[in-house]
Chains A and B, each alone.
Chain A
Amino acid sequence: MSYYFCIVGTQDQPLFELEFGTSKQGGDGVARFSQEARQMNPFIVHSSLDFVDELQWTNSQMYLKRVDQFASSHVSTFLTPTSTRFMLLHLPHPPNTAPQSTPSPNSFPPFTPYTSTPASTTTAGRSSSSSTTSIPNNPTSPQTEEAIRAFFGEVFEIWMKAIMSPFASVEGKLGSPVFRQRVVAAGKKYL
């Protein structure tokens, strides 16, 4: 699974962005978005903000779970009490085409359903991780939901430490390299 994580401020401005890949079950932690997907991700996340705005008043939990889906990309959200939103887009790799060493732009079109993915069954040695309930493959399973909850919980803590600084603004960009390191570590730990 490839992940695109974005922290969105209350004025819908992005404060922090990060791309990473799955580290569980032998993943190498590298995002495998195609060039097209990489450009589309911010739009997909931005469009799901509308759902978050609605859920904000009906769901009083901070973790809103999966709020939106676009093609095979799923968006999960964590809403902090100050209405800053943590958006995580997760894109499962189609079972057979997953990590290729050099994904060419056409080999992995993310916005087409699985059925039409080219039958490039060339990647060997991926059978070990193709269980249907594992985190890397099934974005709707409860295991994935729990893993994302744990990830968001940790990021919430890191984010809070960042904004507790009297010199930081709640609406300011999170440019600290230490913050980035910590989020990357949380991603490695849980996803």
Chain B
Amino acid sequence: MATTAPSQPGPKPLSPPTTIQAASSTARTPQQPSQQHSGLRTPSNRKTIYDRNLNRTRTAELSRASFAYLFSEMVTYAQRRVTGIQDLERRLNEAGYPLGQRLLPLLLYRSSTPTHPHPRPTRILPLLQFIAHPLWRHLFARSADSIESSSTNPHEYMIVDNEPLVNQYISVPKEMSQLNCAAFVAGIVEGVAWAVGLQCAVSAHNAGEGDAMWPGKTVFLIRFDESVVKREAIK
């Protein structure tokens, strides 16, 4: 194993490639003025991300309008740079992936107490339950509508959302009827599953055709890798 450099030199203040990093992750705390790193920049209130609390309350919710606006901008941004629907969905998926990676430890941390840590989901069913309930509740303030397993293929599972929040303010043109912008949410699900080590591919599909009650019904198809299903069978 190669060794990391124990302490990296602080980013130079004005070199463009490192400015984002400098703003986000490196700053000096007020308690330790002796630790001078010449290149470090500190926020004006002298607080770093390490001074923040990880337990935000329920009131820290984002307004639906601003989310819808940001999300539609995201879709537009992606759409300008792609060649087809699949490419667009892939981009949305990739945008959601890091979100899932971060939400998993955060939600487990919040539901843990020092004496009773929340267990990690290591098998398929606990993982799906984690996604459909705590994760969905955190993101959309309600649980997913159902979890189903495919009757024909043991690799495939489905999470059904009757009315995805992300699609609520998106009208898909007729010629792009294949498109489902919930690919973003599929990316989040994929990020969670890969983070725990259950490799899979997740895609979002429209399933509301002919459904009078839920025309926007979306199925998230989770296709696990061969290795995951094999491991599942061993235990």
List residues of A whose CB falls within 8 A of some B CB: 12-18, 42-43, 45-46, 56-58, 60-63, 79-83, 153, 156-158, 160-170, 173, 175-182
As a 0/1 sequence over residues 1 to 38 of chain B, the CB contacts with chain A under 8 angstroms (1 = contact) are 11111111010000000001101111111001001010
Whether B210 is near chain A, meaning CB under 8 Å from some CB there, is: no
Considering the complex, give the chain B residue whose CB is closest to the CB of A39. Answer: B3
**How far is it, in angstroms, between the C-alpha of A173 and the C-alpha of B7 when the chains are bound?**
10
List B contacts of A17 (CB < 8 A). 3-4, 6
Given contacts A82-B104, A177-B37, A178-B48, contact A61 B117 (CB under 8 A): yes
Which B residues have a C-beta under 8 Å from some C-beta of A?
Answer: 1-8, 10, 20-21, 23-29, 32, 35, 37, 40, 48-50, 52, 54, 98, 101-102, 104-106, 108-109, 114, 117, 119-122, 195-197, 231, 235
Specify which of B25, B109, B121, B122 lies most central, judged by the most chain A CB atoms within 10 Å of its CB: B25
Q: Are A160 and B120 interface neighbours, CB within 8 A?
A: no
Q: Would you list 7 pairs from A and B whose C-beta atoms are within 8 A, ordered by A residue?
A: A57-B235, A62-B119, A82-B104, A82-B105, A162-B50, A177-B35, A177-B37
Of the residues B5, B6, B8, B35, contact of A18 by C-beta under 8 Å: B6
Interface contact B4-A168, CB-CB below 8 Å: no
Q: Which among B5, B35, B52, B122 is the interface contact of A56 at CB below 8 angstroms?
A: B122
Contact A80 B235 (CB under 8 A): no
Of B6, B40, B196, which is within 8 A of A81 by CB?
B196
Which of A42, A162, A164, A165 contacts B106 (CB under 8 A)?
A: A164
Nearest-Cβ distance from residue A174 to partner chain B, whole angstroms: 8
Q: Are B3 and A14 in contact (CB under 8 A)?
A: yes
Cβ-defined contact, B102 with A170, below 8 A: yes
Q: Which residues of B contact A46 (CB under 8 A)?
A: 1
B196's contact among A63, A83, A178, A181, by CB below 8 Å, is which? A83
Known contacts A60-B120, A167-B23, A175-B5; can you find 19 more A-B pairs with CB under 8 A?
Answer: A56-B197, A60-B121, A62-B117, A80-B105, A81-B120, A81-B121, A81-B196, A82-B101, A82-B105, A83-B196, A163-B105, A165-B25, A170-B101, A175-B7, A176-B25, A178-B50, A179-B25, A179-B50, A180-B7
The reply to whether B3 and A160 contact each other, CB–CB distance below 8 Å, is no
Contact call A160/B1, Cβ cutoff below 8 A: no
Known: A79-B120, A175-B7. A14 touches B25 (CB 8 A): no
Instruction: List the B side residues contacting A161 at CB < 8 Å.
Output: 49-50, 52, 54
CB distance from A118 to the nearest CB of B (A): 29
Please state if A181 and B101 are interface contacts (CB–CB under 8 Å): no
| Minimal Cβ-Cβ distance residue in B for A83 | B197
